[in-house]
A and B are shown apart, each in its own frame.
Chain A
Amino acid sequence: MSAAAARGPLVHRISSALYLHPRLFLLLLLAPPLIWLGIIYLGSLFALLLQSFFYIDDFSGNIIREFSMATYGQLLTIANADVFIRTATMAAAVTIAAALIAFPIAYYMVRHASMRMKALLYLAVMLPLWSSYLVRVYAWKLILAKEGIVPWFAQQLHLTWLLDAALSIPVIGGPSLSTSYIGSFLVFLYIWLPFMILPIVAALERVPASLTEASADLGATPRETFRKVILPLAFPGVVAGSIFTFSLTLGDYIIPGIIGNSRPFIGQAVYQLQGTAGNIPLAAAFTVVPVVIMAIYLLVARRYGAFDAL
């Protein structure tokens, strides 16, 4: 007869009840965050997805709440398809460039830096990552402005002709750096770079030193060791980083709005559609596309082991 559990102050009894019923306890722990995220967040995502199956009546401008694929059909027009191609190309370019710049930094950090230097570099990469996104974008507006820093440096180094040549390349050039694709590319690269560095660092750290020693012991030159041992093992880190750079570029609407020409990216299109145009169904359909692209990307990335490198 367990008289003990019935005694004691209320707090004690509650504690005992929770202790003896671990499932109830678990439920109580999970309920607040689950309710918050499950209902509020998931619910609204679902509502958004639902909207993409509605369509806008051309005459009244109202949203007709009937199931239809008409809105998705609109995605296939040239103007809209253009937006997807533009955004995806930029995302790919940024990803590749980021990988190229990030790798030496990550490699140095993991394999050559002393403990102190490594901590410093870690901090140096993290600080921009967490500091203000807008401020960092704004910094580039300063730098790329027509009368600003880059043109001045070009002048001092007598490289203005190079700058002008770059700006006159069709498609990616423009009247000035801050109104061209080159400019957007630079800013995207700058902002997402830390997202690429950190997973590569994590992946490189997982390569034990004994592997490179074994490779050398078996007769490989340092270059061969790099190509055949280190690079394949670090590759999942690169893929993991690419998930971030690709997906973040796909969805961003602020950077191209501030630095770039006026042709819209996916993010801007969505913003315009749901704002003044009031065309929620099309906006929703637009958002579904990057989500689908990323889902496919994630599946491929998973096969390359990127999830273990995250």
Chain B
Amino acid sequence: MQQKKTAVCFDGVARHFGEVHAVDNVSFEIGDGEFFSMLGPSGSGKTTCLRLIAGFEQPDAGHIAVHGVNVDGVPPYERDVNTVFQDYALFPHMTVSENVEYGLMIRKVAPGERRRQSREMLALVKLEALGDRKPNQLSGGQRQRVALARALINRPGVLLLDEPLGALDLKLREQMQEELKSLQRQVGITFVYVTHDQNEALAMSDRLAVFNHGRIEQIGAPADIYEHPATAFVAGFVGVSNICEGGLAQRLSGNPQPFAIRPEKITMTAANEPVPDGWFSVAGRVRAVTYHGATTRYAVALDGGGELAVMRQNNSGGRPAAAAGETVRLTWPRNLNQLLGGPA
């Protein structure tokens, strides 16, 4: 067990609030220097796990270790962990510089040295000129960077980020995603990132964990999770997927076990086109066509019952490949089926 290489280790951790099991027997490890995301819908337990690492909650069962050190009963101010909060939590009565220097001030670092480091940090997050402003004079994006600087200046072993980009508009969010990713590579600190936005998680993480009802359904690299979802929940939550169960599964694949197939993996052809060897095939009628700019989605009602969603890139002009009501044939390679088990 290479404890030194593990940044965070959860071992059978549980946390309940009354009847609700916010975190239910969760075990996993986060590697040193990783960008690790915890993804899931609201109430899935991801934020509670983050707070358990930070020390704002104590586990009801199990153990948590940060860089090999067990942190049971250790309050947040004695952990080598810093947090970027969802609403930034900047101290309103202090200037930006004073906010950033707070951690150093508490540790009794000399004022001159504090100043130097905070200027360095503000430059790193590209806010050099704003040291003397108060938080209420900053925009959302700027506040977010101050929160980041305030946490990073303490050189924590692990940096926790609680949905930090939620309040920003789309363009700014995408820009910040890139910046955060490159910042993490630059400073080399382990980032633990909580989000409900699966696009964000897929784009930024080295590895991610998908949470549902207090448990982890799947953990792995983004491509693995997207291409090979282990459960119906993961298939449906991460990206869009067709989920075929029971009778439909039996009809399509000859096997009653549920499976998932991504809409973009399905080929839609005219009804009389030949089917390649080893590919599944089913006929149907286009029920609805939705235009999404780069792609077009088709809802196809299958002969014999059930429906599948198909997505195609709009490579040539904006005309849809098939109109509503048309008869089409759907085919896809056998090996792209993802067989689904129950929750992990």
Direct contact of A and B (CB under 8 A): yes
Instruction: Point out residues on A near B: beta carbons under 8 Å.
Output: 1-2, 4-5, 8, 12, 15-16, 19-20
On whether the beta carbons of A2 and B72 are closer than 8 Å, the reply is yes
Enumerate 8 A-B pairs (CB-CB under 8 Å) in ascending A order. A1-B70, A4-B69, A4-B71, A4-B74, A4-B78, A5-B78, A16-B75, A19-B75
**Chain B residues near A4 (CB-CB < 8 A):** 69, 71, 74, 78
On whether the beta carbons of A2 and B70 are closer than 8 Å, the reply is yes
On whether the beta carbons of B74 and A2 are closer than 8 Å, the reply is yes
Q: Is B58 an interface residue (CB 8 A)?
A: yes
**Chain B residues near A5 (CB-CB < 8 A):** 73-75, 78
Residue of A nearest to B69 (CB): A4
Assembly CA distance A20 to B78 (angstroms): 13
Assembly CA distance A19 to B57 (angstroms): 10
- Other A-B contacts than A1-B70, A4-B78, A15-B77, 18 sampled, CB-CB below 8 A, are A2-B70, A2-B71, A2-B72, A2-B73, A4-B69, A4-B71, A4-B74, A5-B73, A5-B74, A5-B75, A5-B78, A8-B78, A12-B78, A15-B75, A16-B75, A16-B78, A19-B75, A20-B75
**Chain A residues near B78 (CB-CB < 8 A):** 4-5, 8, 12, 16
**Chain A residues near B71 (CB-CB < 8 A):** 2, 4
Assembly CA distance A5 to B71 (angstroms): 9
Assembly CA distance A151 to B308 (angstroms): 95
Residue of B nearest to A17 (CB): B75
- Closest-CB distance, B17 to chain A (whole angstroms): 14
Interface residues on chain B, size class: 10 to 19
Residue of B nearest to A8 (CB): B78
Task: Name the interface residues of B237-266: CB closer than 8 Å to any CB of A.
Answer: none
The residue among B69, B73, B77 with the most chain A CB atoms within 10 A of its own CB is B73
**Chain B residues near A19 (CB-CB < 8 A):** 75
**Residue interface bits B30-72, CB-to-A below 8 A is 1, else 0:** 0000000000000000000000000000100000000001111
Assembly CA distance A20 to B72 (angstroms): 10
**Chain A residues near B74 (CB-CB < 8 A):** 2, 4-5
Instruction: Point out residues on B near A: beta carbons under 8 Å.
Output: 58, 69-75, 77-78
Assembly CA distance A137 to B75 (angstroms): 57
**Chain A residues near B72 (CB-CB < 8 A):** 2
**Chain A residues near B75 (CB-CB < 8 A):** 5, 15-16, 19-20
Assembly CA distance A118 to B71 (angstroms): 55
Residue of B nearest to A6 (CB): B73
Assembly CA distance A20 to B75 (angstroms): 7
Residue of A nearest to B76 (CB): A19
- Closest-CB distance, B122 to chain A (whole angstroms): 30
On whether the beta carbons of B58 and A20 are closer than 8 Å, the reply is yes
**Chain A residues near B58 (CB-CB < 8 A):** 20
Residue of B nearest to A1 (CB): B70
6 tightest A-B CB contacts, nearest first: A2-B73, A4-B74, A19-B75, A4-B78, A16-B75, A2-B72
Assembly CA distance A20 to B57 (angstroms): 9
Assembly CA distance A1 to B78 (angstroms): 14
- Closest-CB distance, B267 to chain A (whole angstroms): 55
**Chain B residues near A1 (CB-CB < 8 A):** 70
Assembly CA distance A5 to B78 (angstroms): 8
**Chain B residues near A8 (CB-CB < 8 A):** 78
Contacting residue for B73 out of A12, A15, A20, CB 8 A:
A20
Assembly CA distance A8 to B77 (angstroms): 12
**Chain A residues near B77 (CB-CB < 8 A):** 15
- Closest-CB distance, B18 to chain A (whole angstroms): 15
Assembly CA distance A15 to B58 (angstroms): 16
Assembly CA distance A15 to B78 (angstroms): 11
- Closest-CB distance, A3 to chain B (whole angstroms): 8
**Chain B residues near A2 (CB-CB < 8 A):** 70-74
Assembly CA distance A15 to B73 (angstroms): 12
Residue of A nearest to B58 (CB): A20
Assembly CA distance A179 to B196 (angstroms): 75
- Closest-CB distance, A16 to chain B (whole angstroms): 5
- Closest-CB distance, B260 to chain A (whole angstroms): 44
Assembly CA distance A16 to B70 (angstroms): 16
- Closest-CB distance, A18 to chain B (whole angstroms): 9
Residue of B nearest to A2 (CB): B73
Assembly CA distance A288 to B77 (angstroms): 54
Assembly CA distance A177 to B71 (angstroms): 78
Assembly CA distance A19 to B74 (angstroms): 10
Assembly CA distance A19 to B71 (angstroms): 14
- Closest-CB distance, A8 to chain B (whole angstroms): 8
Assembly CA distance A19 to B73 (angstroms): 10
Assembly CA distance A1 to B63 (angstroms): 10
The residue among A1, A8, A19 with the most chain B CB atoms within 10 A of its own CB is A19
